[in-house]
Amino acid sequence: MTNPGATAYRGGVETVNIYDAKTHLSRLLERVERGERIVIARAGMPVAMLVPFAPGPPEPRRIGLWHGQVRMSDDFDAPLPELEDAP
State CA 79 to chain mean position distance.
Answer: 42
Average pLDDT of span 63-68 = 88
Q: What is the pTM of this model?
A: 0.56
How does residue 76 score in pLDDT terms, banded at 50, 70 and 90? confident
- Domains of the chain, with CATH numbers? 7-50 (3.40.1620.10)
**What pLDDT is attached to residue 45?**
94
CA distance 82 to 85: 7
How does residue 40 score in pLDDT terms, banded at 50, 70 and 90? very high
